[in-house]
A and B are shown apart, each in its own frame.
Chain A
Amino acid sequence: SQQHVNVISCIRSTDFEVHRNWLAITHSLPVSRWYYENTSEWTLDYPPLFAWFELGLSQVARRFDANMLQVENLNYASPATVLFQRLSVIVTDVVFIYAARECCRCVREPKGSRDVLSRPSFVLAVLLLWNFGLLVVDHIHFQYNGFLFGFLLLSVAKHLQSQHLQGALLFAFLLNLKHIYLYVAPAYGVYLLRSYCFAQDNKDGSVRWSSFSPLRLLALGAIVTSVCALSFGPFIAMGQLPQVLSRLFPFKRGLCHAYWAPNIWALYNVLDKSLAVLGVRLKLLEEAELPPASMTGGLVQEFEHSVLPSVTPAVTLVCTLLSILPAVASIWLRPHGAQGFLRCLLLCALGCFMFGWHVHEKAILIAILPLSILAVESREDAGIFLILTTTGHYSLFPLLFTPAELPIKVVLMLMFTIFSFTALRKLHSAQGSLLHPLEVIYLLGLVAVAIACEVVFPLSPWQQRLPFLPLLVTSVYCAMGVCYAFLRLYASLLLRREEKPKQL
């Protein structure tokens, strides 16, 4: 849209160079070299289908500026290159727009005529298309999330419309485009197995084993394998699968990204640090015994915990699986149809976000966007949505740190927040207020944190000694909100009143 194009000119980030590099690799090098190439530090670490997508883009890129397709041209950023890259994001957003339209068609319209602005489908459309996080991450920071989320939302919409094979196909594509969506794969797997492969349920909602349909299972399996074959096929044929997998799942150092995503581990880190400081003050610990990293206070990638036990990738995997187990079990034992599936998907996304290893804060969008669909239909979900969205979006602020971007992120955030609050309140006005007073106080506290971090801190003397402080405060404050939203979503799933199980 107009805004997207207006910010085309100046602002870029490393992700820009990442994608330029991938355009160059897929265009200039033979397929066998794609996952071995490492001239640039930004190696190809998305699944092969995305690489094919970049190859397609590079054919168009050739007409803009052929120089960007040279692998050696690191950090090449001519105006034509920038223009092409930005335009490619805008154009591929068409997928997202189409998906948003499909989702809006799934929303129940209440009876009685309302003006356009108050209709749930309109509110949903704006919440999706003008999502602050997506705008900021895609068009300023630079990624193709609109394109990818289009696939996710389209897949969800197809499931809501009971077209499960199409939904499965789209999700298979999505997984092969960006493997972060493995976060929500358990939800898909269990839901399709339970609600699609078992064609009917018993009266009380439990599994009717006799209704198992091997044909459907076969259809699903065929879809998934064929898409994976399309994507990975050439690499398996060349025997490069281990290399590809090692690129997709690198053993990254560090429990947390340089900027802590607002999840459980941020709280864990802070607890650890505070205990360490307290311990030293109370003379329970010797300063010399503690790992040096924790006392210098910087945000280093490799984080050794000093007081609490250190966390390894295996631990995070176990925690994640434990966190999503109840949700997944719930849709197996008591499926609530596609709505239940959506809720489970959200919980899987949030669970992985909360407990995952080296999670990036952008991953919160995987939970926020589908939650929009639920928010326009149910008052409780709208309340959860407001909390999760506001804190999740605010946690993206550190991604844009230059002064030129400050007005943009503040204004866009204000716009989205004002709209989401007023529109959702109007939609659910008949059923009482959306937020508890304590929740309102928490959200207002965000404003204070924002002012402190963006305005007060840069002008204060602490800027030199503790440069990471605003990031830490943002992380921790948002982590509390995200955890709270996670718990409330769980409560809403597990304590949901029994609904008549749907027949497929």
Chain B
Amino acid sequence: MALAHLASSSSRSNLLKPIFAALSSTPSLRCPISSAAADNTKTLTIETSVPFTAHQCEAPSSLVDTTPEELLTFFRDMATMRRMEIAADSLYKARLIRGFCHLYDGQEAAAVGMEAAITKKDSIITAYRDHCTYLARGGTLLEIFSELMGRQGGGSRGKGGSMHFYKKEAGFYGGHGIVGAQVPLGIGLAFAQKYSKDGTVAFVLYGDGAANQGQLFEALNIAALWDLPAILVCENNHYGMGTAEWRAAKSPAYYKRGDYVPGLKVDGMDVLAVKQACKFAKEHALKNGPIILEMDTYRYHGHSMSDPGSTYRTRDEISGVRQERDPVERVRKLVLSHDLATEKELKDTEKEIRKKVDEAIAQAKESPMPDPSELFTNVYVKGFGIEACGPDRKEVRAVLP
């Protein structure tokens, strides 16, 4: 698990000691099978609260297998993401992060659930709301904050910014600013996977706003025509910038928009449902070609830091979702109801996360800005001894390594 390194081994074992304290379980979560003895690897089967809705395919079962270890990892990862995004908010207001900053808090379950269902060999490509996906794919907090503040130590050497996180070795292809442009790229990733026959899939994420882009339908046609192992995931947070989905789309049933491409609607605030759906989608894509997943999710912040987020929706709506559907709270309740950890232990975890995030920020703040020569690096790739000289060479040619 990408974020496992954050958990020190000693605190892990504390959390997983068998706990027989009776804690009240909330009735809203149906947990037909629970285990009082919290063994790391014991399988828990939990039913998701919202069933899947399928289009042109059989919905997977809403009983999801998980383990205590996995649930605690979910909690830790999502809490880290939540804390990181809130910290980014403060940094933006302190003008340490500039330009555009699109925050993912509220949608953490989509990133974490997806990661749990796949391997690092599968590819993920997303749009600009990519901080948490980068973290889930193996990025460190330091790399994230350095890149956000434009420092040399950032994931893209400070030259990309908030919208351009990439991690090639972990199969994370970014990080793209133009709405919808990542979808054909993602289909290209799937094409390459089919070309090299390596049994992996590509998850192509986009939002409800991008779902109206023509290139998406072009890409869908191409993917379906050649049975590419692509999974198109619509992270439907119901608002495309400032326009609600019902004002932008004639048919907001995004999972059905593929027509001949099967689709599945998933409760995107439930990490276990997301995990189940992604697992199902991966199996489907490898056999039958593309599938669309619509994650019904929500973002607490506005579209970006320049958007207050309250001019097109009511504060009541935001706080209502936060109370009833918050992904981190759901996992917390699950963990507590299955006696996997005490309230205090979870609070300690959160404190630890907060400390780690603060440390990463402090370190990133001290880190150096990119060297001026970095302006000209990475414009072209050098190689083959070709003389790639700029237009202002006069007498001397340089043979590049």
Same complex origin of A and B: no
